[in-house]
Structure 1
Amino acid sequence: MEPRLSLVTLGVSHLDRAIEFYRDGLGLPLETRDPDSDVAFFTLGATKLSLYPRELLAEDVTVSPDGEGFSGITLAHNVRSAQAVDAQLEEAIEAGATLVKPGQEVFWGGYSGYFADPDGHLWEVAWNPFFDID
């Protein structure tokens, strides 16, 4: 396998609400939203974020859509400072996210916090002084 992550797809319960959260609330650039399809794509640098109805995603994977609890996956957004962590968490909350863990110093030497999007997908916002985001 080539070392690359091309697409992250989130199964969402209300596609239009999810698009509004990511586009209008967090300001991510919507690349494609065909009104005749059930998918939306956002460009995140070399990676794309895809939103797709949870039931249809589960059908495609051939699993039940009734998962609950911690899925074992988080998404991360690294920022340039500890102050930027708090600002990004606040932006997400104002857009409709739920604060899961406020920004705080963490054991690995950085500063991070977590929010859940309207469908419960967990996002870490982190400043890592050892990680170059340029």
Structure 2
Amino acid sequence: MTDRPAAAIAIITLGVADVARATRFYEALGFVLSRGASQDTISFFRAGGVVLALFGRDALAHDAAMATTSAGPFGGITIARNLPSPEAVDAAFAEALAAGATALKHPEKVFWGGYSGYVADLDGHPIELAHNPFFPLGPDGTVTLPD
């Protein structure tokens, strides 16, 4: 027996060009800002079972001891927001565009049996908006994975 805690993602931090601007964008998408934990240089949002953080891109690279070289248009990661229906995906897609997101892929039926589309946030981070009929959602939007 070990005292090692279960593997879990607690916080996803996005490096952004302007924390205040990115904060307004994510608030417009319906994410709830933790005013008690956030500061001018970092914002924390409740995001179901994880926390979404926004931190200056250069400061985040410095903190990780990495160079701030520009990656290609795709950085190898997306974040996803699962929704209860295809109609909710369409509504969230329109809401994101109204908040300033860029359309990457309009919502459509996808090969795995769901419905999804992609937008890019103000810093180009891709966000998938999806309905997955195989992953039930809790009242707080968290995904229930099958055993």
Decide: shared fold, TM above 0.5: yes
* d(CA) in 1 for partners of 2:34, 2:137: 22
Q: Are 2:103 and 1:99 aligned?
A: yes
Task: Report what 2:144 is aligned to.
Answer: none
Question: Aligned residue pairs: how many?
Answer: 131
Output aligned runs, 1:91-130, within 5 Å: 91-130=95-134
CA offsets 1:75-110 (integer angstroms, 9 cap, x no match) = 000001011111101000000000000000100001
- SS at the partner of 1:63? coil
Task: Report what 1:34 is aligned to.
Answer: 39
Identity of aligned residues (%): 45
Output aligned runs, 1:1-134, within 5 Å: 2-23=6-27, 25-32=28-35, 33-35=38-40, 38-69=41-72, 70-134=74-138
Alpha-carbon offset, residue 62 of structure 1:
1.1
Give the TM-score, by structure 1 length.
0.93
Alpha-carbon offset, residue 15 of structure 1:
0.8
- SS at the partner of 1:131? coil
**Which residue type is aligned with residue 117 of structure 1?**
D
- SS at the partner of 1:132? coil
Alpha-carbon offset, residue 34 of structure 1:
2.4
* d(CA) in 2 for partners of 1:100, 1:34: 31
* d(CA) in 2 for partners of 1:16, 1:63: 23
Alpha-carbon offset, residue 45 of structure 1:
2.3
- SS at the partner of 1:89? helix
Unaligned runs of 5+ in 1: none
CA offsets 1:24-69 (integer angstroms, 9 cap, x no match) = x21211003324xx11101112211100000000001111222322
